[in-house]
Amino acid sequence: MSEDKPEAGKGGRGDPNTGAWIGAGGLIVAAVVGGIFALLAARGGGPPTPTTSLSSPAVSVSAATTSPSSSTVGNLVTLVSPGVDTVAYSFDGKYLAAGNANGIVRVWQTSNWQVADSMTNPNSKGVTSIAFNRASSLLAAGDANGHVYVWASGHATVLSDPSDAPIRSVAFSQNNKYLAAGDTSGTINVWQTSTWRLVSSMTDPGSSGVNSVAFNPTNSLLAVGDANGRIYLWANGHATVLNDPFGAAVRSVVFAADNRALVSGNSAGYVYVWHVGNGEAWLTTLSPSHYEVAETLHDPDTKGIESISFNARSTTIAAADGNGRVYLWLYNPTPGQFQYPTNDAALSVAYSPDDSYLAIASASGNVYVKLVGS
């Protein structure tokens, strides 16, 4: 397939050798994250002190010892979170977070499914995306009010989107040094986590709004799924453009943990597996050296892919569909699937770090945690 490599938008590029993000003017930004502090627990210490002008309004934080409403039936745990839109596991496996349309981020302990914290984004218009950093010390929440809230030790650092556009997706780099956010204007902003300074701002050519962002495991590529039916792979100041074969809006992108593939899901219900190498990408065909099966995956009776997740072993793809089902592909033409207690749309999925559980955010207002293996 043909490739287009336009120049990057507003200065800034990734260094594939060091993982550093190079800002406008060629300045290499050093990024050393200081200190590890306990997740969402007031145990002293705190996040790095911002060196730029950031607002830090009063935030609402409450802790509970039990979930407002939860139940376990067989191997399915149901956690009530009205208006839930997005879910994410911490990388140490100890916490599961969910963000909802009311601006609330709720965090459960996975050991007993009790609520550890419940936090409210100030002046929220709805949490659209959440992500933990790999140290499990920071939790970022993108909001439709155009802000990113970075939670640590019960406090939030507030990052404002320069475009003042609603945030659709947030992601930390694998080395914990950067936080990226994509918005409805088609802009991707990258902040340095040691100072919370904005170090790069890029714009997708002809964008209809960013739906998803993801760093690859080596921090050398930043993938961006756009509503215009394209995936942009940003590296070294250039964007490699992948056209969705169906021409539908790309709603979710994720890299395999082994860095051999990028998976995308679109609004037409198709999941594509892309082979990625050296900053170039192409749609894979059958290639035993990479995957037993690498072909187009399609949800029967789809209402569009909302979210996808790759397990840690890079063996299984989970795809949440608007038809109320989650499809599990094990690199063979026939996906496994299960339908949870309601027929409402599945909005977001996330594997636990040990691949044992799959969390699903449902339009019914519940978070379902499914035992899928060990």
* Residue 162, domain member (yes or no): yes
* Residue 140, domain member (yes or no): yes
CATH of the domain at 276: 2.130.10.10
CA distance 100 to 76: 21
φ and ψ of 24, to 5 deg? -60, 140
Kindly report, residue by residue over 295-346, the tens digit of the pLDDT.
445 556 678 889 999 888 888 888 888 888 888 776 443 444 545 555 678 8
Provide the token pair at 52.
């730029």
Task: Answer with the residue of higher pLDDT: 49 or 261.
Answer: 261
Contact indicator for 219, 279 with CB cutoff of 8 Å: no
Over residues 185-211, the mean pLDDT reads 93
**3-class DSSP state for residue 41?**
coil
Residue 267 DSSP one-character state: T
Number of H helices and number of E strands within the chain? Answer: 0, 33
* Residue 321, domain member (yes or no): yes
pLDDT reported for residue 301: 67
pLDDT reported for residue 123: 86
Strand 167-172 and strand 178-183: the pairing is: antiparallel
Over residues 99-111, the mean pLDDT reads 94
Contact indicator for 147, 121 with CB cutoff of 8 Å: yes
Count of the separate structural domains present in the chain: 1
List beta partners, residue 283. 274
* Residue 174, domain member (yes or no): yes
Q: What Cα–Cα distance (Å) separates residue 134 from each residue in 93, 217, 337? A: 11, 11, 29
* Residue 5, domain member (yes or no): no
Strand 104-109 and strand 230-235: the pairing is: unpaired
* Residue 4, domain member (yes or no): no
CA distance 123 to 130: 17
Binned at pLDDT 50, 70 and 90, residue 13 comes out as very low
Provide the token pair at 252.
């979710």
* Residue 306, domain member (yes or no): yes
| Maximum C-alpha span of the chain | 57
Contact indicator for 168, 129 with CB cutoff of 8 Å: yes
- Rg over CA atoms, the chain: 19
* Residue 39, domain member (yes or no): yes
Domain containing residue 31:
13-371
Kindly report, residue by residue over 22-76, the tens digit of the pLDDT.
333 222 222 222 222 222 322 223 333 332 323 333 333 333 333 456 677 777 8
Strand 261-266 and strand 270-277: the pairing is: antiparallel
pLDDT reported for residue 94: 95
In which residue are the tokens 């003017």 written?
25
